[in-house]
A and B are shown apart, each in its own frame.
Chain A
Amino acid sequence: MQNEELKGVDNSQLQTLVIDETQYKTILSEKFTKRVKWQKPDEKKVFSVLPGTAKQFPVKKGDKVNMGDPIMVFEAMKMMNTIKAPISGTIKEFHVAIGDRFPKNTLLIEFQ
């Protein structure tokens, strides 16, 4: 039986999925086609892990900080949360200002 004889399945729905170098004709799930491509995290960029509001910056642009130093305070889930420097280095840029509301995965601070 050829795949065009598949009942109720439009041939255009069939795509190729390669597993162990074998090509399979199949319908790709939405979850698979919409998956986010993985990227190596850039340790010089600090992203929000929660949506929140920027409240305080204990450091300024150009400051040298050590790993673990507090660099930002934000409010989320009715709590004050402190972000600590993930690396030792110099603050290159703040991408949010005090009072800004930001969603998850927003670039907050960049290191040089």
Chain B
Amino acid sequence: MPIKKKILELQKRREIVQLGGGEKAIEKQIAMGKLTARERITSILDKESFHEYDLFVQHDARDFGMDKKELHGDGVITGTGTMFGKPISIFAQDFTVVGGSLGRMHAGKITKIMDHALKMKMPLIGINDSGGARIQEGVNSLAGYGEIFFRNTLASGVIPQISVILGPCAGGAVYSPALTDFVFVVDKISKMFITGPEVIKSVLGEEISQEDLGGAKVHSHITGNAHFYAESEAECFEQIKKLLSFIPWSNTQKAHKVAPKPPKVKTKVENVVPEDASQPYDVRDVVRCLVDDSDFFEIQEHWACNAVIGFGRMNGETVGFVCNQPLVMAGVLDVDSSDKIARFIRFCDAFNIPIVTLVDLPGYLPGVDQEHAGVIRHGAKILYAYSEATVPKISVVLRKAYGGGYIAMNSRHLRADFYFAWPGAEIAVMGPEGAANIIFRKEITEAADPDAMRVEKVKEYAEKFANPFVAASKGYIDSVIEPSETRTYIIHALEVSDNKDAGMPKKKHGIPPF
């Protein structure tokens, strides 16, 4: 047979297989408001850059009539392409082929591309749109999931792993996204849960819709399982590209440096923060006054909002920001915000991204629910993550740092490399009101006018201790700086930290309070 004929045959074969579950199934997919798996891949990657592998893979199931079924691509598309001209590995489950259900060969295609990603040191993007395990393949499909989870764990901290939930992702399948670094969800399309509404109804008698149980809003606003929430697939793809513009391709590289730009926002940073420590402000406005082009890319913006995390650039270099948010819950640390902060620190540390911490917090949130939810072990995660992080760590106290919260938020004692404070900063065990009531209890209760005495003593304490100079006199603060100097101090600190060697003790691994 002449080669021309063979080429024609290949083209024909490709055409058929690339149609996935066929035109009817594609119509259904579109009717659900979803793009096809192939469209999703080509929308995320650079134009014309996608190269597919394992297109002709076939399942080898024999039971339950499966031997008579041909499943194109076995329900998943895998390959490599580029983003910003740099290599990316990607897979997308194809819901049009038996609901994107996962069998042995389907999983094999995914693990093959994961192995490539790990070997070639490039990010992995996984698009999930699957009804779950292919029941007909029995334990083989469970084995497939296990092989994926193992590789997620192996690749964790080596290459960035991104999960995009664009359809159902139920049962054991949810654990692959949960093991990856960033999870993207889209309103009305994403659905994630361990046990679905039907099981819940039959076992527990509780009725709930898929959306209310594990929709995009649930995971971005309530559970914290998702990091990015979008209204549409198109918006979601833009978020993915933006995220990848900030992070390095592997743990042996630094993030791509861009041309430095001054902040776009011209507000004086000291004008963002009210002097009165009891008044709120949005800490993101402070970040925007500091970062290049005022471009701050927030992560998990709808969950545990009393802490703010995200990426920005300082002098062209990517920096991870960790901030207390006085606007929500006065910026306290609690169970959820501790989890949020600790995991982000781990990501930054694994991928050579310096961390800038903006401190303004009254401490930990009091309450039975917090104590019983284990705020001790959750709060410990922040201490652990900061202490163990070896990337450059810089803190700026904007207004107040009280109690255990002061220690936790990248204090000098946890080996912050540079610790700065604005002149109005209060670094103390607690606020003046609480402290004065304890220290001067006797004077206050025995005074002829206890209220007047309390006011006087609070004032006395505030004047003596509610300032940065006590901590500065001990060397706990490196420099008390003017707010307008913040950006230049951070940039300089980053410059001089470039060759940092933290000299950590050798160990297999620590035992973090997971």
B431 contacts partner chain A, Cβ-Cβ < 8 Å:
yes
**A9-B282 contact given A24-B362, A27-B327, A27-B329, CB 8 Å threshold:** yes
Which residues of B in the span 363-409 have a Cβ within 8 Å of any Cβ on A? 363, 365-369, 372, 402-403
Nearest A-chain residue to B267, judged by Cβ: A1
**A25-B431 contact given A17-B330, A35-B367, CB 8 Å threshold:** no
Q: Which residues of A contact B285 (CB under 8 A)?
A: 7
Which residues of B in the span 470-512 have a Cβ within 8 Å of any Cβ on A? none
B281 contacts partner chain A, Cβ-Cβ < 8 Å:
yes
Q: Could you tell me if A24 and B280 are in contact, using CB atoms closer than 8 angstroms?
A: yes
Which residues of A in the span 57-112 have a Cβ within 8 Å of any Cβ on B? 76-78, 101, 103-104
**A1-B281 contact given A19-B363, A31-B336, CB 8 Å threshold:** yes
B75 contacts partner chain A, Cβ-Cβ < 8 Å:
no
Complex CA distance for A6 and B500, rounded to whole angstroms? 39
Q: Could you tell me if A36 and B280 are in contact, using CB atoms closer than 8 angstroms?
A: no
Nearest B-chain residue to A39, judged by Cβ: B368
B433 contacts partner chain A, Cβ-Cβ < 8 Å:
yes
A2 contacts partner chain B, Cβ-Cβ < 8 Å:
yes
Q: How many A-B residue pairs have CB under 8 A?
A: 101
Q: Could you tell me if B271 and A1 are in contact, using CB atoms closer than 8 angstroms?
A: yes
B451 CB to closest chain A CB, in angstroms? 14
Q: Could you tell me if B362 and A19 are in contact, using CB atoms closer than 8 angstroms?
A: yes
Contact of B431 among A20, A26, A76 (CB under 8 A): A20
B244 contacts partner chain A, Cβ-Cβ < 8 Å:
no
Which residues of B in the span 349-370 have a Cβ within 8 Å of any Cβ on A? 362-363, 365-369
B437 contacts partner chain A, Cβ-Cβ < 8 Å:
yes
Q: Could you tell me if A26 and B329 are in contact, using CB atoms closer than 8 angstroms?
A: yes
Complex CA distance for A34 and B154, rounded to whole angstroms? 39
Q: How many residues of A contact B (CB 8 A)?
A: 32
- Stretch in B144-152, B199-207, B413-421 with 4+ CB within 8 Å of A: B199-207
Complex CA distance for A16 and B323, rounded to whole angstroms? 21
B434 contacts partner chain A, Cβ-Cβ < 8 Å:
yes
Contact of A77 among B203, B277, B330 (CB under 8 A): B203
Complex CA distance for A17 and B362, rounded to whole angstroms? 10
**A19-B204 contact given A2-B274, A6-B280, A36-B369, CB 8 Å threshold:** no
Nearest A-chain residue to B370, judged by Cβ: A35
Q: Could you tell me if B327 and A9 are in contact, using CB atoms closer than 8 angstroms?
A: yes
Q: Is the interface of B mostly helix, strand, loop or mixed?
A: loop
A12 contacts partner chain B, Cβ-Cβ < 8 Å:
no
B318 contacts partner chain A, Cβ-Cβ < 8 Å:
no
Q: Could you tell me if B369 and A38 are in contact, using CB atoms closer than 8 angstroms?
A: yes
Q: Could you tell me if B433 and A21 are in contact, using CB atoms closer than 8 angstroms?
A: yes
Q: Could you tell me if A20 and B434 are in contact, using CB atoms closer than 8 angstroms?
A: yes
Q: Which residues of B contact A78 (CB under 8 A)?
A: 203
B430 contacts partner chain A, Cβ-Cβ < 8 Å:
yes
Q: Which residues of B contact A14 (CB under 8 A)?
A: 280
4 residue pairs, one from A and one from B, having the closest CB atoms: A20-B434, A24-B330, A22-B431, A38-B368
24 pairs from A and B in contact (CB 8 Å cutoff)? A1-B271, A1-B272, A1-B281, A2-B279, A3-B280, A6-B280, A6-B281, A7-B285, A17-B330, A17-B332, A19-B362, A20-B403, A21-B431, A22-B431, A25-B279, A26-B328, A27-B280, A27-B329, A29-B329, A31-B336, A35-B369, A38-B369, A51-B203, A103-B204
Beyond A20-B430, A29-B328, A32-B329, 12 additional pairs, beta carbon < 8 A: A1-B272, A14-B280, A20-B363, A20-B434, A20-B435, A22-B278, A22-B430, A26-B331, A27-B305, A38-B369, A77-B203, A78-B203
